[in-house]
Amino acid sequence: MKFGGTSVATLPRWQNIRELVASRRAEGARVLIVVSALTGVTDALKQLCIEGEQGKREAAAGAIAQRHHDLLDHMQLTLPDTLGQRLEHLARLAVDGAAAHGALAWQAQVQAHGELMSSALGAAFLSHSGLPTQWLDARECLAAVALPNQNERTRLLSAMVEAKPDPALTARLAALGDVLITQGFIARDAQGRTVLLGRGGSDTSAAYFGALLKAARVETWTDVAGMFTANPRQVPGARLLQRLDYEEAQEIASTGAKVLHPRCLSPLREPRVPLLIKDTNHPELEGTVIGPEVRAHAPSVKAISARKGITLVSMESVGMWQQVGFLADVFAHFKTHGLSVDLIGSAETNVTVSLDPTENLLDSDAIAALASDLAKVCRVKVIAPCAAITLVGRGMRSLLHTLSGVLAEFGQLRVHMISQSSNNLNLTFVVDEEVVDALLPHLHDLLIGAGALRTDDSALFGPSWQTLYGGGEVIPAVPAWWRETQRPRLLELAAETTPRHVYHLPTVRQQARTLKTLAAVDRFHYAVKANTHPAILRALAEEGFAFECVSPGELVAVGSIVPQVASPLFTPNFAPREDYARALATGATVTLDALHPLQHWGALFRGHEIALRVDLGRGLGHHDKVRTGGSGSKFGLPLDQLSAFLQLASEHGVTVRGLHAHLGSGVLDAGHWGEVYAQLASLAERIPSVVFINIGGGLGVPAHPGEAPLDIAALDQALSAVKALYPQYQLWIEPGRYLVADAGVLLARVTQQKDKGGFRYLGVDTGMNSLIRPALYDAWHKIVNLTRLGEPATALYQVVGPICESGDVLGSDRRLPEAREGDVILIAQTGAYGKVMSSHYNLRDEADEIVIE
Ligand code: ADP
Ligand code: ASP
Ligand code: MG
């Protein structure tokens, strides 16, 4: 059991340690405790090492000693001899200074005292509190090896141990007692010198011991309940990784997750000793298990990590192309200066590499010396400070298509280098250091939203840090109606026939009422293209919604189903002339988004009031195919044609009453509409006739578990802020998806199963003919086996339909209970763009529609 710096720094933590060790003893295990220095002590000792004056060094040693005295006082213990000797030795080293010992050897001795002191203190506390604990000098057990590529610095400050199971050592320790305590971070080399294992190396000590003793397991106790999908201090929404194999954990650790020292996994791999990460203060939390077993799981990004303090060395040489040995010459210099290279990018005339700060114990002298040597063979540029952001996951290359949104984010930044690991486990971007803190939480959200981080797989992804620690507001997942109250009803409906769409009107109403809390909005429209079922139109009319249509068919539907509602909006795109004529005849408010209608059919519009849809030059949304702004999309009038449009309008006696923009669908960022609103309002000031601003729809609903819902209160604030500046304009919105998506489910029935090429296919009786969103947009819909809801999800399925298209996949890599023919499968969130986009393809019947009032 290894306890880190914060876990050994206070009396309550030591009381926890006592309980934890006692509970392992109660299970019959013998325990070797490995401790770090009290938190902050290694830093203080490092600081002591750089003091030039003896007096200052002595003062520093005194302060460090005092911390241990204080903790002893708190424990109501007198100074044990073991600790007294350490304090004296440290004081002597402080007096001596480096000169007497050799700088590096002296530093190692000084810094080793952090662990020597904390372990002595721990032995005294545990023994005193009724758990006899034997103190052990780790240097008697861990023998550092001298490797050919090490220099003196790495040999002393970042040493390595070869840890093979050692029965003699095991027997020796067994003879000492059942509970032993020793130091992390330190070892002894062949010359008998004290050496360090590198910052954070106590984890590695524990792993060395775990391997030498072939332990049942290594437990790393720290201040967080495991390895998370990102550093939880930076990304509170980071999810607990419940299970990892050694390779993935290794990759996450070595790309920046400080929770494990990067060298602590390889010793455990061969003897297959599992490693458990747990929170000392919350032992009840599950933690992360890292072990040898490879479980079937879908390719997924597992984590996003970042390392700051990265130095890039760019080497430019015109003559290097096809020159034998150029790289060998260049890398020889890195070796001479003891600098290990991490990432490599190469081009015809340039090689750029990054130096990893943790491995190198970088010092600026070494880099300067390297640069001056390299300057003899090429042009050198040192770029720092940079940061490396890494996406880690098994099968990264097969995930590239899901990363477009993430990659787009990097498009805004200066990216110095991109590197893809040859083990297919990581993809790394080197950027300027200062952008990282703001970027990480955002990238983490995007990875979840894109389904690249498969948070739906609850066997792998545990709760978020926020949920576990209450460190921030936790947004409760709205219990799905189909899970809570309506399951029996749905099973009955499915028994009658499948496939069917079922709509839950209370959910539609509830969404409508939530939207109506937007005080800044003057007029609400429902974009009927999302779902034109009459019951839904009627319910929304009752809730006070007007309607937005994009075709004559939709106008007819609205006119006949809810004739009482005030004139609809008509917002078509590339519609033929006669569509406009019909819309104008019904009294709809027509929105134009091109010059053509006024240029060629001006007479048709004469005397009418219209709205104008503009393209604000950018698009947003969950997929390329739903982004409706920017030069690549067919929607909206480009702003450089605005004057021409206004000219045509005045020539034809047409009054522009409203300005409209709609950037895309599925947007979960509340800030977005405030920006659109402000842009449109400032544009409207150039058009005196404008009285309303229509900021479109696109309000998203979270699809992936862990995605935060749109914050309606924040949206209202953003809108109200703009409204206060432009009170002269009415504000209109026209959401579709937000109102109906969660209200609909698609019920289907299991037809057949097939195992093929390592995949398990689960066939259901409808597919892309009833729900095309997965095929068209890579949309992710939750899928459950309604018949077996709550049974353990032990199978990993590709859920497919009966259509003769390889794209007929409703959900890939879904963890579900083992299914049988006839089971009812529920596909969630199909209330929007489900039935309305369905087809008779393959001459299969469309799913029917049922409404639950
Ligand atoms: P100890 O002193 O117990 O060894 P460390 O401070 O070395 O603890 O490591 C724990 C810290 O690692 C956490 O408090 C957290 O801030 C940081 N950390 C960075 N990345 C991750 C991650 N992906 N998952 C969990 N913790 C992380
Ligand atoms: N005390 C050492 C450090 O702070 C080792 C460790 O805590 O793992 O780096
Ligand atoms: Mg640590």
204 CA → ligand 3 middle, Å: 9
CA dist 836 and 809 (Å) reads 19
More confident residue, 456 or 637: 637
The pLDDT of residue 451 is 86
Q: How far is the CA of 233 from the centre of ligand 1 (A)?
A: 9
Distance, CA 267 to ligand 1 centroid (Å)? 20
Label residue 705 by pLDDT band (50, 70, 90): confident
Find the mean pLDDT for residues 173-180.
96
Nearest atom (ligand 2) to Cα of 199: 9
- 487 or 349: which carries more pLDDT confidence? 487
Q: What is the mean pLDDT of residues 621-647?
A: 82
Q: How far is ligand 3, taken at its centre, from the CA of residue 114, in Å?
A: 14
The catalytic position among 49, 378, 549, 804 is: 804
| Amino acid code (one letter) for 385 | P
User: Each residue of 788-805: pLDDT tens digit?
Assistant: 998 988 888 999 999 999
pLDDT for 323: 76
Closest ligand 1 atom, CA of 241? 24
Average pLDDT over residues 109-134: 97
pLDDT digits (tens, 9 = 90+) for 595-604: 999 999 999 9
With cut-offs at 50, 70 and 90, classify the pLDDT of residue 295. Answer: low
Per DSSP, what are the bridge partners of residue 243? 289
Indicate whether residue 303 lines ligand 1 (CB < 6 A).
Answer: yes
- Give the number of whichever ligand sits closest to the CA of residue 221: 1
Q: 516 C-alpha vs ligand 2 centroid, how far in Å? A: 55
* Nearest ligand atom owner, CA of 197: 2
Residue whose CA is closest, atom 9 of ligand 1? 259
How do residues 3-51 score in pLDDT, each as one tens digit? 999 999 999 999 999 999 999 999 999 999 999 999 999 999 999 999 9
Q: Which atom of ligand 2 is nearest to the CA of 114?
A: 1
Return the pLDDT at 362. Answer: 62
Which residues crowd ion ligand 3, with CB under 5 Å? 4, 200
Of the pLDDT bands very low, low, confident and very high (cuts 50, 70, 90), residue 475 is: very low
How much is the pLDDT for 472? Answer: 46
Sole residue written with tokens 């604030």:
717
Q: Percent of the chain, pLDDT > 90?
A: 74
Q: Is 804 a catalytic residue?
A: yes
Q: What distance in Å separates the CA atoms of residue 38 and residue 69, rounded to the nearest whole number?
A: 12
First to last CA, the chain: 58
CB of 227 closer than 8 Å to CB of 304: no
Tokens linked to 663: 């950037």
The confidence score (pLDDT) of residue 296 equals 62
pLDDT category, 328, cuts 50, 70, 90? Answer: confident
Q: Residue 461 above 80 pLDDT?
A: yes
Residue 686, exposed/middle/buried by CB under 10 A (0-12, 13-18, 19+)? exposed
Q: Is 28 exposed, middle or buried (0-12, 13-18, 19+ CB in 10 A)?
A: exposed
* E strand intervals along 622-708: 637-638, 655-660, 692-694
**C-beta of 227 in contact with ligand 1 (< 6 A):** yes
pLDDT at 299 (0 to 100): 79
Q: What is the pLDDT of residues 479-512, one digit of tens each?
A: 789 987 899 999 999 999 999 999 999 999 999 9
**Ligand 2 pocket mutation, candidates 42, 209, 280, criterion most atoms within 8 A of CB:** 42
Q: What is the mean pLDDT of residues 89-117?
A: 94
Letter string b/e over residues 356-371, b meaning 16 or more CB atoms within 10 A of that residue's CB: bbbbbbbeeebbeebb
Decide: 725 and 693 in contact? Cβ < 8 Å: no
Q: Provide the Cα torsion 280, 165, 122, 25; round to 10°.
A: 70
Instruction: Label residue 471 by pLDDT band (50, 70, 90).
Output: low
- Atom of ligand 1 lying closest to residue 200 CA: 7
pLDDT class of 623 with cuts at 50, 70, 90? low
Pairing of strands 589-592, 783-785: unpaired
Residue 664 scores a pLDDT above 80 = no
Q: What angle do CA 727, 732, 736 make, to 5 degrees?
A: 155
Mind listing the pLDDT tens digit for each residue in 748-759?
999 999 999 888
Angle at 54 between CA 48 and CA 56, to 5 degrees: 55
pLDDT tens for each residue of 144-172: 999 887 888 889 999 999 999 999 999 99
Q: Could you tell which of 199, 222, 254, 461 is best to mutate to test the pocket of ligand 1, judged by most ligand atoms within 8 Å of the CB?
A: 222
Residue-wise pLDDT tens digits, 801-826? 999 999 999 998 888 999 999 999 99
Q: Is 233 in the pocket of ligand 1 (CB under 6 A)?
A: yes
Q: Is the Cβ–Cβ distance between 520 and 723 less than 8 Å?
A: yes
Nearest CA to ligand 2 atom 6: 200
Q: Is the pLDDT of residue 473 over 50?
A: no
Q: What's this model's pTM, rounded to 2 decimal places?
A: 0.76
Which pLDDT band holds residue 345 (cuts at 50, 70, 90)? Answer: confident
Mean pLDDT of all residues belonging to the chain: 92
Q: Which atom of ligand 2 is nearest to the CA of 200?
A: 8
pLDDT (tens digit per residue) in 66-88: 999 999 999 999 999 999 999 99
353 forms beta bridges with 313, 344
Cβ–Cβ < 8 Å for 683, 614: yes
For a ligand 1 pocket test, name from 6, 224, 305 the mutation site with the most ligand atoms within 8 angstroms of its C-beta. 224
Give the span between the Cα atoms of 721 and 733, in whole angstroms: 16
Task: Give the mean model confidence (pLDDT) for residues 81-100.
Answer: 94
Where is pLDDT greater, at 572 or 402?
A: 572
How far, in Å, is the centroid of ligand 1 from the Cα of 225?
9
pLDDT score of 474 more than 50: no
Smallest CA separation from ligand 1 atom 10, residue: 259
Question: 544 CA distance to ligand 1 centroid (A)?
Answer: 51
Rounded to the nearest angstrom, the distance between the alpha carbon of 228 and the centre of ligand 2 is: 20
Is ligand 1 within 6 A of the CB of residue 160? no
Question: What local confidence, expressed as pLDDT, does residue 620 receive?
Answer: 66
Which of 3, 36, 220 has most ligand 2 atoms within 8 Å of its beta carbon, as the pocket-test mutant? 36
**Token pair 């300067």: residue:** 368
Highest mean pLDDT among 22-26, 409-413, 775-779: 22-26
> What is the distance in A from the centroid of ligand 1 to the CA of 183?
19
Q: Which residue has better confidence, 327 or 535?
A: 535
Q: What is the pLDDT of residues 413-454, one digit of tens each?
A: 888 888 888 878 899 999 999 999 989 998 999 999 888 998
Tell which residue, 623, 838, 815, 813, has the closest CA to residue 746: 838
User: Collapsing DSSP states into helix, strand and coil, what is residue 541?
Assistant: helix
Does ligand 1 come within 6 angstroms of the Cβ of 222? Answer: yes
Are the beta carbons of 180 and 170 closer than 8 angstroms?
A: no
> In the predicted model, what is the mean pLDDT of residues 181-187?
98
**Which residues sit with their C-beta closer than 6 Å to ligand 2?**
4-5, 36-37, 42, 114, 184-185, 199-203
